[in-house]
Chain A
Amino acid sequence: MHLRTKHMSDQVAEAGAFSRGHLRLLVTTGPEDLLHGLQRYDLWSRIGFMEIKRRYRRTVIGPFWGTISLAIFIAVMSTVGIGLWKQTLGEYMPFLASGMMVWLLISTMINESCTLFVNSQHLFSRMRMDYSILAFALVWRNLIGFLHNLAVYLLIAIVVLPALINLSLLWIIPGLFLISLNGVWVALLLGMTCVRFRDVQQLIITLLQISLFITPVFWPPDLLTGITALVFVKFNPLYSFIDVVRAPLLGKTPMLSSYAMIALITLVGWIATLRLFSRFRKRIAFWV
């Protein structure tokens, strides 16, 4: 035993001359983090699902409370909107309901992104972790939340305009995929930014509140003309993301320009995030 210890301390002394052939460097790069994180779908889907499960706990209807408040909002807002923009109930209510659902999905993801790392410190300060797992879990959890609201939407559609329930609804799937694909980079980017600069979260909350009103969620996009239409509809990235899910829900095809806009945002967003995430990943543990 004693001999062994001595032997070991000799080895310590020789550490410098040690061959490193079979050793791996204890460093995770950004792309490795994302790849390994994605492969742990069992883990991030569980983390996401448990989050939803906690909302059900000790309540009778759990996350449906969010859905109920959405339903009440839509009922009240519809009566106002129909008067304001001279719409029919069958036209306006599904428009508002679908728009609000997608808006809630997107804005909740953005809001929660700001606290991605701040709230999960207890996890990654105890063990090595692929941070991307947290981002995937966030997106997954919000998709499950969206499905709750979708149930309400289908109910509204059946009551006011049954013709909306048809196979073109399936086009929401690529739309949701695009939102998720972008949700992951937004989560990582905002998560990093907000954990380093704590003011950013307040800024994002403010911007989101304003965005709800300047994006065609309540009001029909074709009401605007000229330059305002360009700014708030055509070149409004939030509108593109809403369009690719809302249009199929309303039995329409999303605009090609929406897909083009999303393709551009996906590309730019992922490139920027990959660069920043690769560079600053190792500092996240210190920023928290």
Chain B
Amino acid sequence: MATILVENVDLDYPIYGMQRSLRRAFFQNAAGGFINKKDPHHRHVTVSALTQVSFQLTDGDRLGLIGHNGAGKSSLLKVLAGVYHPTRGKVWVDGKITSLFELALGVDADDTGYETVVTAGMLLGMTQAEIESKIPEIERFSELGEYLSLPVRTYSMGMTTRLGFSLATVLEPEILLIDEGIGAGDARFTERASKRLHELARQSAIMVLASHTDDLIRQICNKAALLTSGRIIKIGPVDEILSEYHSEKARLEAQPAAE
């Protein structure tokens, strides 16, 4: 049984190489997390990206992360992925974690589509034989045809997305972490992509998805968490959380930049 257990997680980003003036500018513009300077023992400015985050997910949970830019959605995903180590608190897991944060696979733009998919698949934990056996499926899904033999640098944005997404679809994750940006690509592909995303969601035991697209969260997730300034304000049924998010958003917009 796949499980994620997050216990009192705090995440502070240290900020290095900040000049004094820049530091002051940062204070006045605290869009996302809080900036701490109070602790005299801290030599560095830190940004609290997450504060006291706790929750548990088990088989069948599809959690949608909702919140404004800088609310901590991506930070939370990166903590769950094991990219960032929490400053305080613990994350326990059972199951293989696969993270898809950017569909541009980020290997090297001079590599061909085939090469990129193989390297990226191996980076995501597959063996070379495993990923190579999935190549026909990737060819079919991406519909990139001859382009797969060309360097990725020659691809359009939409084609890169297709390639990334086709890799995503051949993974067999137990715990799948997805960060938005899945919208790109032409209309027909987006439709197919969202269909595959549903299938992926069904296949994987647990899914955590950060998105600004209400529809996507409604379609895929069966629970949602609202994040504000690095805290989980509320966790519960998708519709409830989404309406909470929108009413909060409306409230913020009603009182413009007063602060």
Contacts and interface: CB of A to CB of B under 8 A. Distances in A.
A11 interface: yes
B180 interface: no
Interface string B106-142: 1110110001001100111001100000000000000
Contact of B106 (A15, A22, A123, A285): A123
Interface stretch (A23-31, A106-114, A209-217): A23-31
A238 B230 CA distance: 50
Given A12-B55, A46-B128, A127-B99, A27 B223 contact: no
Contacts, number: 116
Interface in A1-48: 1-2, 4-6, 8-9, 11-12, 14-16, 18, 20, 22-28, 40, 42-43, 46-47
B122 to A, nearest CB: 5
B185 to A, nearest CB: 19
Interface in B49-108: 54-58, 60-61, 78, 80-85, 90-94, 97-99, 101-102, 106-108
Contacts of A282: 85
State the main secondary structure of chain B at its contact with A: mixed
B174 to A, nearest CB: 13
A86 interface: no
A50 B83 contact: no
A15 B54 CA distance: 8
A54 interface: yes
Contact of B91 (A26, A42, A57, A127): A26
Given A24-B94, A26-B92, A28-B82, A18 B123 contact: no
Contacts of B106: 122-123, 126
Interface in B208-235: 222-223, 235
A2 B237 contact: yes
A126 B99 contact: yes
Contacts of A46: 118-119, 122, 128
Contact of A11 (B56, B82, B98, B102): B56
A235 interface: no
Bin chain B's interface residue count. Answer: 35 or more
A197 B61 CA distance: 42
A9 B236 contact: yes
Contacts of B82: 26, 28, 128
Contacts of B98: 127
Given A15-B54, A286-B13, A25 B123 contact: no
A124 B111 CA distance: 19
With a 10 A CB-CB cut-off, give which of A8, A27, A50, A285 has the most chain B CB atoms.
A8
Contacts of A128: 81-83, 97, 99
B7 A15 contact: yes
Most buried by B among A24, A123, A127, A128: A127
A113 B110 CA distance: 22
B222 A5 contact: yes
A44 to B, nearest CB: 10
B223 A9 contact: yes
A285 B78 CA distance: 10
A54 B108 contact: yes
A172 to B, nearest CB: 30
Interface size class of A (residues with CB under 8 A): 35 or more
Interface string A119-151: 000111111110000000000000000000000
Nearest to A2: B237
B92 A24 contact: yes
Contacts of A127: 81, 83, 98-99, 101, 123-124
A287 interface: yes
Contact of A285 (B80, B85, B123): B85
A22 B16 CA distance: 38
A117 B16 CA distance: 16
B5 interface: yes
A269 B55 CA distance: 42
Contacts of A22: 3, 94
Given A25-B91, A42-B128, 18 more contacts: A2-B237, A4-B222, A5-B222, A5-B223, A5-B236, A8-B57, A9-B237, A15-B5, A15-B6, A20-B92, A23-B93, A26-B82, A26-B91, A26-B93, A42-B127, A54-B110, A125-B83, A196-B16
19 contacts: A5-B237, A8-B58, A9-B235, A12-B56, A14-B56, A23-B93, A26-B90, A26-B91, A27-B85, A42-B128, A46-B118, A46-B128, A54-B108, A54-B110, A126-B99, A126-B106, A127-B81, A127-B99, A129-B123
Interface of B: 3, 5-7, 13-14, 16-17, 54-58, 60-61, 78, 80-85, 90-94, 97-99, 101-102, 106-108, 110-111, 115, 118-119, 122-124, 127-128, 222-223, 235-237
